Amino acid sequence: MPIRQLSAQSNLVQAEYFINNDPGTGLGTPVSIVPGNHLQDVNFQVNTASLPTGIHYLYLRVKDANGVWSHAGQWIFARPFAGAPVLPALPAAENIVQAEYFINNDPGIGLATQIPVVSALNLQDINITVNTEPLPTGIHYLYLRVRTANGLWSHAGQWIFARPFAGAPILPAQPVATSVSKAEYYIDNDPGLGLGKPVVLPPSQVQLADWLIDVNVTGLSTGGHFLYLRTQDANGVWSHLGKWDFGVTAAAAAPAININSLLNKPQFCAADSLYLSFDASGQYNAGNIFQVQLSDANGSFANPVQMFAVSGTTSSILGMRLPSQVPDGTGYKVRVLSTNPSVTGQASSQTLSIRNRPYLGPDTLAAIVCLGEIVNLNPLYNTTGLTAQWNTSNTVTAPQGIYQLIATNSFGCKDTAVATVGQEINLWSGASDNNWHNPANWSRNRVPGEKTHVIVNTATNSPVISQADAQAASIQIRNNRNIQLSNNRKLTITAKCTTLPTQ
């Protein structure tokens, strides 16, 4: 087996700190260090003169001789002020009351092989017997985890072992990563798996990087709190908890509604799908309706557009369509309102860039009178300033058929229309009365014209032409039906087709 030579750790040559907001690597406040392959007991002064009273975060990072920066270490501190919030004490240690193990595949929390334990603050030198009889020869992974009296499970410890076999051991392949399907957060107290505040996620993501969420802090007391976040994969397995501490300097009253996450993208087109999650703090009553509104292009809600409404009383993830036509803009925002009680939610901290979608108009019938005639498709729709793409190269002399047009504007937003080249057939129904000129009596809901092939095949209210003259490309009267003319009106047949429609 070839042996790979390990390279020595590069010297650390630069360090810097920043407070609260990252100015960018290399742009923080320099910290004087002596180059070496590690740093220990480095003292430096932090300038807090310009900071307001309250809770702040200090970050420190270093760069090695290869120009590679480390992750930023984080510390929380407070600049003294009257009534300063004090971070809550860490929860008291809880006794361990349950333990379990599993091999290779996790059956789910609480469903593995149980290990008898005596309730204690820690477990040490516990002997367990692991049943390896069902295992094939080869390499395997043993996992062990414990649960405290307050119901919290630890991470699973992992050990590798081999069941003896002939030949060289081969490590089993690690499980294939599955996409993250759900995320939720809570503050201070765990409501239980799946019961936290929902966070909308992009689809089919194996991992999340630089994901922004807004956390609703209404109803929290002044002082220190803990934020927890966890995710669930497509197999239903929940991740470990991420944990962050933060401080509240002034309590905000509930109820309040906060959009905590938007499935944002660099640019939306009008009528695109939009997904958001919101956190509704406080009490909402039966019959309450949550409404989602869109601002104007400058973020103003003076004349909002309501996009979606749903009944409910708790935080949720919502999917909806943007309006089909909007002015181009990069400053759109959304907010959620409730009706019982009446609460106007905060506008989203993220803005949306929305571009208007071209509108070609409804699908159309380009009527030909007799079979074999052709049509010029180009004048059917106004595509000025758009990139037009038909599903045929023969747009000037198009024969009978169905044709699709896709029009794209300069922002890449599209609209689609369908033009049907064919004979217009209008069936008499007499559904309303016997008046030829009443659109409600015709299958196309319009009165026949000079290119319309008319078929009268019903005994209900035979058509009467009395209000005005009439015309049609052809007339077919079937099953001994009839057409009546009165008041000296005329019916003009305009076409001379050798073959009439058979419908």
User: DSSP characters for 424-445?
Assistant: EEEEE--SS-SBTT-GGGBTTS
Tokens 């003319």 belong to 485
Q: What is the pLDDT of residue 425?
A: 95
The token pair that represents 128 in the structure block: 């367990």
Domain end, chosen from 357, 378, 404, is at 357
Q: Is residue 441 domain-shared with residue 471, that is, in the same domain?
A: yes
90 in a domain, yes or no? no
SS3 82: coil
Distance CA 263, CA 180 (A): 14
Please state, in angstroms and rounded to a whole number, the distance separating the CA atoms of residues 259 and 313: 15
Q: What is the CATH number of the domain that holds 225?
A: 2.70.50
Q: For residue 2, give both structure tokens.
A: 């070839």
Q: Which amino acid does the sequence have at 191? A: P
Q: What is the pTM of this model?
A: 0.57
Tokens standing for residue 331 = 């400053």
Calpha distance 347→336 (Å, rounded): 8
The confidence score (pLDDT) of residue 2 equals: 33
Domain check: are 277 and 326 in the same one?
Answer: yes
Q: Does residue 141 belong to any structural domain of this protein? A: yes
Residues 6+ apart with CB under 8 A from 194: 182, 184, 232
Say if 88 falls within a structural domain: no
d(CA 77, CA 346): 29
pLDDT at 81: 55
Distance (Å, whole) CA 292 – CA 323: 12
**Pair 322, 378 in one domain:** no
CB 340 within 8 A of CB 288: yes
Q: Which helix (H) or strand (E) holds 260?
A: strand 256-262
Say whether both 290 and 430 belong to one domain: no
Q: Which residues of the chain have pLDDT under 70?
A: 1-10, 81-91, 165-175, 177, 204, 206, 209-210, 459
Residues 157 and 295 in one domain: no
Domain annotation covers residue 314? yes
Which CATH number covers residue 71?
Answer: 2.60.40
Pair (193, 247) in one structural domain: yes
Secondary structure of residue 380 in the 3-state scheme: helix
Distance, in Å, from the CA atom of 270 to the CA atom of 322, rounded to the nearest integer, reads: 6
Measured CA to CA, the distance from residue 420 to residue 215 in angstroms comes to 52
User: Under DSSP, is residue 210 helix (H, G, I), strand (E, B) or coil?
Assistant: coil
The answer to whether 227 touches 246, Cβ cutoff 8 Å, is: yes
pLDDT of residue 278: 94
Whether residue 272 is contained in a domain is answered as yes
For residues 174, 178, 184, 185, the Cα torsion angle rounded to the nearest 10 degrees is 30
pLDDT on residue 454: 95
Residue 1: per-residue pLDDT: 29
Residue 283 lies in a domain: yes
3-class DSSP assignment, residue 379: helix
Structure token digits, residue 406: 């896709």
Q: Distance of CA 42 to CAs 122, 127, 323, Å?
A: 34, 43, 57
Residues 295 and 273 occupy one common structural domain: yes
Backbone angles phi and psi of 14, in degrees to 5: -150, 145
Distance CA 187, CA 244 (A): 10
- CA 430 vs CA 125, 334, 433, 488: distances in Å: 92, 50, 5, 22
Q: Are residues 445 and 300 in the same domain?
A: no
Are the C-beta atoms of residues 341 and 290 closer than 8 Å to each other? no
Q: Domain count for the chain, please give it.
A: 5
Residue 214 lies in a domain: yes
With b meaning 16 or more CB within 10 Å and e meaning fewer, what string describes 394-406? ebeebeeeebebb
Q: How far is CA 238 from CA 155, 309, 320, 437, in A?
A: 11, 31, 27, 67
Q: Let me know whether 228 and 112 are in one domain.
A: no
pLDDT confidence of residue 173: 61
Q: Which of 13, 122, 127 is nearest to 61 (CA)?
A: 13
Q: In angstroms, rounded to a whole number, what is the distance separating the alpha carbons of residues 75 and 58?
A: 5
At residue 489, the pLDDT reads: 95
Residue 131 burial by Cβ neighbours in a 10 Å radius (0-12, 13-18, 19+): exposed
Last residue in a domain, options 357, 375, 398: 357
Does residue 330 share a domain with residue 255? yes
- The set of long-range contacts for 386-389, using a CB threshold of 8 Å and a minimum separation of 24, is 386/358
3 within domain boundaries: no
**Residue 229 and residue 264 in one domain:** yes
Q: Provide the 8-state DSSP code for 378.
A: G
437 lies in which domain range? 424-493
Q: Are residues 227 and 338 in the same domain?
A: yes
324: left (phi over 0), alpha (psi -120 to 50) or beta: alpha
Name the strands in the sheet holding 316-321, side by side, starting at the edge strand that comes first in the sequence: 256-262, 273-281, 316-321
Strand (E) positions, 284-423? 289-294, 305-311, 316-321, 329-332, 334-339, 342-344, 352-355, 364-367, 387-390, 401-408, 414-422
